[in-house]
Chain A
Amino acid sequence: MKTTFQKEDNNLVMYFEGRLDTAAAPKTDQEMKVLYDCDGHDIVLDCTKLDYISSSGLRLFLSLLKVAKPKRSHVYITGLSDDLRQVFAMTGFTNLFEFK
């Protein structure tokens, strides 16, 4: 799993690439911590190159959301493949995040 962090416009953008499974989750968790500092910014999670996500990964996204929401930061997810979209749908995450 490889993550890339960028600031674009006023957004904090993170690119995910590869498989976000349970083994990769701890490391990714660390890397995502930079997004927690999102006061006044929106967050964009780019999943174009995300091949796979399991519950550990979903948990990370949820944790981020729980932090961002009180800070009035939107969390956008982009580039989600149909298969992964289904996974989000199965877990009800499609209601939690905004998709672009």
Chain B
Amino acid sequence: MRFFNILNKSVATRTTILVLILVTVLVLVGGMWQVQHVRGIISEETHRQANRSMDGAIRMMDNRISNVETAVNTAAAYADIYATQESRASEMLERLIAFNEDIAAITLMYKENYFPQHGRYFAPTITRDPVSGKLEMDEIGGPENDFCYLETDSNWIYTNLLDRGYWCLPYMDSISTKRAMVSYSVPLHDANGQTYAVLCADVDLRWVQKIVEDAKPYQYSKVMVLSRDSQYVCHPNQEWIQSINAICYARQTKDSDFIDITSRMLRWEKGKDTITKGFLHQSSMVEDSDAASVFYFAPIERVQWSVCFSIPENKIMEGPNQLRSNMLFLLGTLLIAIAIVLNVVIRAQLRPMKMLEESAEDVAKGNFLTKLPEIKTHDEIRHLRDSFEQMQFSLAKYVDELKATTAQKASIVSELKVASDIQMSMLPKTYPPFPERDDIDIFGQLKPAKAVGGDLFDFFIRDEKLMFCIGDVSGKGVPASLVMAVTRALFRSISAHEASPDRIVSSINGAMSENNDSSMFVTLFVGVLDLPTGRLRYANAGHDAPLIIGSEICHLPVDANLPVGIMPDWKYTVQETNIVPQTIIFLYTDGLTEAENIDHNLFGEQRILDIAKTVQRTPRELIDQMTEAVHKYVGEAEQSDDLTMLAIQYTKKQLDVRFQRSITLPNDVNEVPRLAEFVDSVCEAMDFDMGTTMKLNLAIEEAVVNVMNYAYPAGTKGDVNIEAQANDVRLKFVITDSGVPFDPTAKKEVDTTLSAEERSIGGLGIHLVRQIMDSINYERVGGTNVLTLRKKL
């Protein structure tokens, strides 16, 4: 694995190694093939040469031997001229041996008692001294030399037996020197055809050794000659000549190859064999016992010998082996050279890459404007560099774009933050919102899901009525927040002069449906709680019913009206109920009921009810506990919707009435003086000063005259009842009439800053009432208008 790591790290190394492998494989394969080819050629050539040598040697030997044979045969043909006479026999012999160098000794063996004077056996012989070459006469017949005649394998016997020329087996000449000899004898026939003598020529076999030595095909070949009786005629190991029986010895060694070759030679076969070392060692035919050798053998038929050459294979293949070694050496050198050259060249070629790499690292650090190195060639490296440069420019451009986009996003985020702040500031923020009042306690909270949200709630007190609303714009985020702002503004502006919830909702609906291009709608709940009486009038536009938490906990029954902003002329219904002191009205949006945890399970109505049951104290505590419960429930999950809650607790304490007086007047402005009297008497009872009394007079007159003029249409008669009531903290005047519904508080405020020309005549009355009294409150109860003016004491 480490090897592969090295390969992977360098182009030069990898390429070099690949090339080396390729070259090695090619050269080895090609080389091997060629070497094999050459071996084949050499082998064949050797084979041919060996055969030729073999043939040559055999021919030569055969020639020499046949020379002797011919000479003796020829002499035998003429022998009867000489051999029959005792004196002339040696002359013949002399001439014969003198003219034939190869004949070492010549003997004429007469049959027994042919020349009786010479004894039984007469065998003149002439011997050539091997050293001096001198011829010596001798006679080897006689009783002490009768071995020639008597030995079973002697020439005499065999020649007589065969009655023709006969080459005997080689033998060692033990008489004088130890020489290997072979004899040829031929029978001499007399006139009757009877054999009377045997002419026998001895041949020194040392020349055989020389011939075969000369005839060997290669210097390193070894030669042996095996005779018919399994004796070595010549052998590289001189001691084995004529001393061991080849086949017996072979059998002794139990070497199958040895036995095989020896047998075949003895059978006078011609052939060749490749033999491994076992035999060779045994046969003493080779020096290096590890190498195989090829053996060529063929017979010399005349004398029944077999000649054998051995050629060591490694000598034969010396050439090709050398060639192989040379080639391997050359290959090695070549590989080293390639390795070095390739490495150097490739590294040099890749140097621009190194420069490019350094520049690239610089760019990666953030220096997009780094100049890439100049590359003079127009090759792949140059292309890479150019591509890289393009990438560099693109990168710089993208980074700039990204910076711009991020800055934009950051500014959007900060704008959203500002928008969120604006939206939050639209909601009532200070709690408790009416610390000076003792009849109401309110707490509200809004947590948007995103920076800005679509939930809204609002409340304010006008004319002793708490106007409140809660709503949920369809959707979330910036679009919903814009609609939320519009809805709230509408609520404020409309309920400034309209106290009837259904009319408030209808007006909002009308205004929103008009310009509703985005088809967004708002679920809305509008309530008007009359603080003196606890009377709650409300209109619901598709919103969740609020919880009324008092001695019992239940949902406020709500009509199913359409949400606002869908149908411009939907008729919204108004509903009414009475709120008992200490009751909490709990309003919320579906962000509470549909708060999701990670398993996508909803918080649900039941949990709200359960918590509401356990908390029975202040609005703030209720909402805090609800918030905590939701947070625990939601856990890790993201807030899915805006979470809005508004809790209103009606805490009015009924105080004891200290003073009460009333008067009823017909609706005639001329009754005003009587009214003034009434007011004066009340003020006196209350111990007010002149200024206060006058002001009260003014306020009551204005209010009553208003009622007289507008509650009863012109011409109708009706009564107006004025009741004055005081408790510990305030004095109130309740003006009731049974005229048409008339709400003086619904009139627009007078602008007292206009100039005389711009001022309108009307509207002063109510303005004065508001200025003088602490609060003005209108209710329609049954068929009567009830207008209450209050003054704190």
Interface centre among B669, B672, B764, B772 (most CB of A within 10 A): B764
Q: Is the interface of B mostly helix, strand, loop or mixed?
A: helix
Q: Which residue of B lies closest to A87 (CB)?
A: B698
A21 at the interface (CB under 8 A from B): yes
Do A59 and B757 form a contact, CB below 8 Å, given A22-B705, A83-B691?
A: no
- Interface set, chain A 19-48, CB cutoff 8 A to B: 19, 21-23
Whether A90 and B772, one on each chain, are in contact in the complex, defined by CB atoms closer than 8 angstroms, is yes
Whether B771 and A90, one on each chain, are in contact in the complex, defined by CB atoms closer than 8 angstroms, is yes
Residue in A62, A83, A91 whose CB lies within 8 Å of B694: A83
Whether B767 and A54, one on each chain, are in contact in the complex, defined by CB atoms closer than 8 angstroms, is no
Whether B676 and A55, one on each chain, are in contact in the complex, defined by CB atoms closer than 8 angstroms, is no
A63 at the interface (CB under 8 A from B): yes
A15 at the interface (CB under 8 A from B): no
B697 at the interface (CB under 8 A from A): yes
Whether A23 and B671, one on each chain, are in contact in the complex, defined by CB atoms closer than 8 angstroms, is yes
What per-residue 1/0 map shows which CB atoms of B343-379 lie under 8 Å from chain A? 0000000000000000000000000000000000000
Whether A59 and B756, one on each chain, are in contact in the complex, defined by CB atoms closer than 8 angstroms, is no
A52 to B761, CA, bound (A): 19
Q: Which residue of B lies closest to A58 (CB)?
A: B764
A66 at the interface (CB under 8 A from B): yes
B472 at the interface (CB under 8 A from A): no
Do A96 and B676 form a contact, CB below 8 Å, given A23-B669, A52-B698, A55-B768?
A: no
Whether A23 and B768, one on each chain, are in contact in the complex, defined by CB atoms closer than 8 angstroms, is no
A66 to B765, CA, bound (A): 19
A99 to B765, CA, bound (A): 23
Whether B761 and A62, one on each chain, are in contact in the complex, defined by CB atoms closer than 8 angstroms, is yes
Whether A54 and B702, one on each chain, are in contact in the complex, defined by CB atoms closer than 8 angstroms, is yes
Residue in B670, B756, B765 whose CB lies within 8 Å of A62: B756
**Could you tell me the distance in whole angstroms from the C-beta of B759 to the nearest C-beta in chain A?**
6
Whether A92 and B753, one on each chain, are in contact in the complex, defined by CB atoms closer than 8 angstroms, is yes
What per-residue 1/0 map shows which CB atoms of A57-100 lie under 8 Å from chain B? 01100110110010000000000001100110011100110000
- Interface set, chain B 721-773, CB cutoff 8 A to A: 750, 752-757, 759, 761, 764-765, 767-768, 771-772
Residue in B672, B690, B752, B755 whose CB lies within 8 Å of A91: B752
* Number of A residues, CB within 8 Å of B: 25
Whether B752 and A54, one on each chain, are in contact in the complex, defined by CB atoms closer than 8 angstroms, is no
Do A96 and B698 form a contact, CB below 8 Å, given A22-B705, A58-B764, A91-B752?
A: no
Whether A21 and B764, one on each chain, are in contact in the complex, defined by CB atoms closer than 8 angstroms, is no
B69 at the interface (CB under 8 A from A): no
A87 to B691, CA, bound (A): 11
Whether B757 and A69, one on each chain, are in contact in the complex, defined by CB atoms closer than 8 angstroms, is yes
B530 at the interface (CB under 8 A from A): no
A11 at the interface (CB under 8 A from B): no
Whether A91 and B756, one on each chain, are in contact in the complex, defined by CB atoms closer than 8 angstroms, is no
Do A83 and B695 form a contact, CB below 8 Å, given A55-B768, A59-B764, A63-B761?
A: yes
Whether B673 and A83, one on each chain, are in contact in the complex, defined by CB atoms closer than 8 angstroms, is no
Residues of chain A lying within 8 A (CB to CB) of residue B697: 52
A96 to B754, CA, bound (A): 9
A74 to B670, CA, bound (A): 32
Whether A23 and B673, one on each chain, are in contact in the complex, defined by CB atoms closer than 8 angstroms, is yes
Whether B672 and A23, one on each chain, are in contact in the complex, defined by CB atoms closer than 8 angstroms, is yes
- Interface set, chain B 45-89, CB cutoff 8 A to A: none
A90 to B695, CA, bound (A): 11
B204 at the interface (CB under 8 A from A): no
* Number of B residues, CB within 8 Å of A: 30
Whether B690 and A83, one on each chain, are in contact in the complex, defined by CB atoms closer than 8 angstroms, is yes
Residues of chain A lying within 8 A (CB to CB) of residue B765: 54-55
Residues of chain B lying within 8 A (CB to CB) of residue A95: 752-753
**Could you tell me the distance in whole angstroms from the C-beta of B764 to the nearest C-beta in chain A?**
4
**Could you tell me the distance in whole angstroms from the C-beta of A59 to the nearest C-beta in chain B?**
5
A63 to B756, CA, bound (A): 9
A87 to B698, CA, bound (A): 9
Q: Which residue of A lies closest to B770 (CB)?
A: A90
A23 to B666, CA, bound (A): 13
Interface centre among B671, B690, B759, B767 (most CB of A within 10 A): B759
Residues of chain B lying within 8 A (CB to CB) of residue A52: 694, 697-698
Whether B757 and A90, one on each chain, are in contact in the complex, defined by CB atoms closer than 8 angstroms, is no
- Interface set, chain B 580-621, CB cutoff 8 A to A: none
A54 to B771, CA, bound (A): 13
Whether A55 and B753, one on each chain, are in contact in the complex, defined by CB atoms closer than 8 angstroms, is no
**Could you tell me the distance in whole angstroms from the C-beta of A35 to the nearest C-beta in chain B?**
15
B701 at the interface (CB under 8 A from A): yes
Whether A87 and B756, one on each chain, are in contact in the complex, defined by CB atoms closer than 8 angstroms, is no
**Could you tell me the distance in whole angstroms from the C-beta of A1 to the nearest C-beta in chain B?**
10
Residue in B672, B695, B750, B772 whose CB lies within 8 Å of A22: B672
What per-residue 1/0 map shows which CB atoms of B645-673 lie under 8 Å from chain A? 00000000000000000000000011111
Residues of chain A lying within 8 A (CB to CB) of residue B764: 55, 58-59, 91
A88 to B755, CA, bound (A): 14
Residue in A23, A59, A87 whose CB lies within 8 Å of B761: A59
A90 to B437, CA, bound (A): 25
A56 to B759, CA, bound (A): 15
**Could you tell me the distance in whole angstroms from the C-beta of A19 to the nearest C-beta in chain B?**
7
A65 to B695, CA, bound (A): 24
**Could you tell me the distance in whole angstroms from the C-beta of B705 to the nearest C-beta in chain A?**
5
**Could you tell me the distance in whole angstroms from the C-beta of B158 to the nearest C-beta in chain A?**
182
Interface centre among A69, A82, A90 (most CB of B within 10 A): A90
**Could you tell me the distance in whole angstroms from the C-beta of B470 to the nearest C-beta in chain A?**
36
A22-B669, A55-B705, A96-B755 given; 20 more Cβ-contact pairs under 8 Å: A21-B676, A21-B701, A22-B705, A52-B697, A52-B698, A54-B765, A55-B702, A55-B764, A59-B764, A62-B761, A69-B756, A83-B690, A83-B691, A83-B695, A87-B695, A90-B772, A92-B752, A92-B753, A92-B754, A96-B756
- List 16 A-B pairs, Cβ < 8 Å: A21-B673, A21-B676, A21-B701, A23-B673, A52-B694, A54-B702, A54-B705, A54-B768, A55-B702, A55-B765, A62-B759, A66-B756, A82-B691, A87-B698, A87-B768, A91-B752
Closest 4 CB pairs of A and B: A92-B752, A55-B764, A23-B672, A90-B771
